[in-house]
Structure 1
Amino acid sequence: MELGAHLSISGGVDKALDRAEELEINTLQIFVKNPRGWTGKELTTKIANLFKEKSKAMNLASSVVHANYLSNLATPKNELYKKSKESLKEDIRRADCLGVNYVVFHPGNHTGSGIEAGIERVNKALKEIIKDLNPKAKLLLENVSGAGTEVGFNFEDLLAMTAGIPLDRVGVCLDTCHAFAAGYDLRSKDGFDRLLTEIDDTFGLDHLKVIHVNDSKRELGTNKDRHYHIGQGKIGSEGFARLVNHPQLKEKVFIIETPIDENGDDKLNLKTLRDLAE
């Protein structure tokens, strides 16, 4: 089982690996620049090599970069569209320098242009980015909660964003909180099976590479993205037990993005998932 957490890169990206060792995890997710800004500190060859050396020394099974939150590939606004493409390109360049396996990103918001127009914009951007960079990391579209004008809260729409792109270059990242917020009832076996069937019928489960394991602070179908501690939210322990023990998911990369507050931290949430795994 590949189980990890989204970790801080405070002090340098290699410091996230030290934190991973402390948590005794074999995978991790990081930002490679400011997630709420367009620029970041220079990633030197020395630091990139140190990251790769540490990853190898600790037998890290895989690693994930989460792209900048500001990027919006679905936008109809040309200036933001251009900045978003350049930002994602920079995240990919850095991921490839670090030898990271996957780059996860949110598709964005159509802001009134309509879902189809938003999907088309994302598709066009991805084709351009892949042509320009030929990335080593696989690019993963993350499902969203469906708030406002977000695109990509179902897997049919996410697949449409990859039209004309080989699925060895792109895939999908499932966020459990987002799926629950979008109306997928992960509390029940039927709801869980419906979700997996939809992913299998679109991308194929082989192209589901990363699962963001987050409980939800809000109720089913509210379109509210509010991550919570595993088993303490509205999805509950039974849903996560089904997730981590599913025979077709056991080899996936599980990453927690849960809060750190008075009710829990990474250690607690990782222990909860390990205890649920049979």
Structure 2
Amino acid sequence: MTSSSIPSPIGAHVPVAGGLATGGLKYAAEIGAETVQVFVSNPRGWALPEGRPAEDAKLRERTDVPVFVHAPYLVNFGSPSAATLEKSVETVRHSLTRGRAIGARGVVVHTGSAVSQSYDAAMKQVHEHVLPLLEEIPEDGPDLLLEPMAGQGAMLCALVTALGEFFERLEHHPKVGVCLDTCHAFAAGHDLAAPDGVDTMLRELVETVGPGRLRLVHANDSKDVCGSAKDRHENIGAGHIGEEAFAALLRHPEVAGVPFVIETPGRSADPHRADIDTLKRLRDR
């Protein structure tokens, strides 16, 4: 780690069985996580549960552990379905409200798909429905973090350069940021495993959206080769991206202090602890 860099906290998306804070923070401690990402509702459903004030307070008070919320996977502001669009607005508003209640820094939302309609029609919906949500966010957050996808189907954004249209449609609002998923970026065609791959991608990101917009990294290796358009996560160093790319990412000045969250395979704490240990080793060397 260079002397001028700010170390990135490294953590994981954590399960919340037993309570958002109680279960989530217990698992975080078990795997050595310095930051956490959580779901505040069913990731594959539209139900919008109320919070539990005591649990919310526990998480909000842990100011030493940056918290992020991942919005449900069903959210799609590019959908031609009026019902899906309406539910997406309600769901992201719920995620932002619940995120504020637990002290989250950001709410991650996938950039979505046009499905069966045109790109322009889908992006018009982004402007009409996401911009008002940004206007509702208080000054102290949480921010809305756009996560580009792996490039499959009619996805609206995969390469980081495609974020330019999103930022234009959202009028470069100060409450919009970026969540970069390394597996998605690699699958979309950013060759992070190449000697200058990380630097090239981050330079393109900054040229597209401006400095300081990267607020979170989803650190996931890839089971598939660069440009595959397949979103299949692998444990750190066990996939086609490899350890050196993550080391380069952790050393890059644009990423200084940006939290890293793993979403890697494993049904127990052991592989997640190993991935976090690997990233800490690469960060601190």
* Partner residue, 1:125: 129
* Partner residue, 2:146: 141
Code of the residue aligned with 1:28 in structure 2: it is V
Structure of higher RCO (CA pairs closer than 8 Å, 6+ residues apart): 2
Question: What SS does the aligned partner of 2:20 have?
Answer: coil
* Partner residue, 1:84: 88
Q: When the two structures are aligned, how many residues end up with a matched partner? A: 274
Q: Equivalent of 1:174, from 176, 180, 183?
A: 180
- CA contact under 8 A between 1:23 and 1:267: conserved in structure 2? yes
What does 1:256-267 correspond to in 2, within 5 Å? 256-260=262-266, 265-267=271-273
* Partner residue, 1:241: 247
Cα distance, 1:12 vs structure 2: 1.2
- Could you list the per-position Cα deviations for residues 164-209 of structure 1 after superposition, in whole angstroms to 9, with x for gaps in the alignment? 4344210111110000000000001332222111111012231101
Question: What SS does the aligned partner of 1:105 have?
Answer: strand
- Residue identity over aligned pairs, in percent, reads 36
Code of the residue aligned with 1:34 in structure 2: it is N
Q: CA RMSD in A?
A: 1.9
* Partner residue, 1:65: 69
- Could you list the per-position Cα deviations for residues 220-269 of structure 1 after superposition, in whole angstroms to 9, with x for gaps in the alignment? 1010000001110011122112112223323111111101059x611110
* Partner residue, 1:110: 114
Question: What SS does the aligned partner of 1:272 have?
Answer: helix
What does 1:219-258 correspond to in 2, within 5 Å? 219-258=225-264
* Partner residue, 1:5: 12
1:226 and 1:96 mapped to 2: Cα distance?
31
1:276 and 1:2 mapped to 2: Cα distance?
12
1:74 and 1:158 mapped to 2: Cα distance?
14
TM-score w.r.t. length of structure 2 = 0.90
Question: What SS does the aligned partner of 2:216 have?
Answer: strand
- CA contact under 8 A between 2:199 and 2:252: conserved in structure 1? no
1:185 and 1:44 mapped to 2: Cα distance?
43
TM-score w.r.t. length of structure 1 = 0.92
- CA contact under 8 A between 2:37 and 2:68: conserved in structure 1? yes
- CA contact under 8 A between 2:159 and 2:190: conserved in structure 1? no
For structure 1, which segment, 112-121 or 2-11, has the greater mean C-alpha deviation from structure 2 after superposition?
112-121
Cα distance, 1:27 vs structure 2: 0.9
- CA contact under 8 A between 2:219 and 2:260: conserved in structure 1? yes
- Could you list the per-position Cα deviations for residues 97-128 of structure 1 after superposition, in whole angstroms to 9, with x for gaps in the alignment? 11111111102110121222222222221112
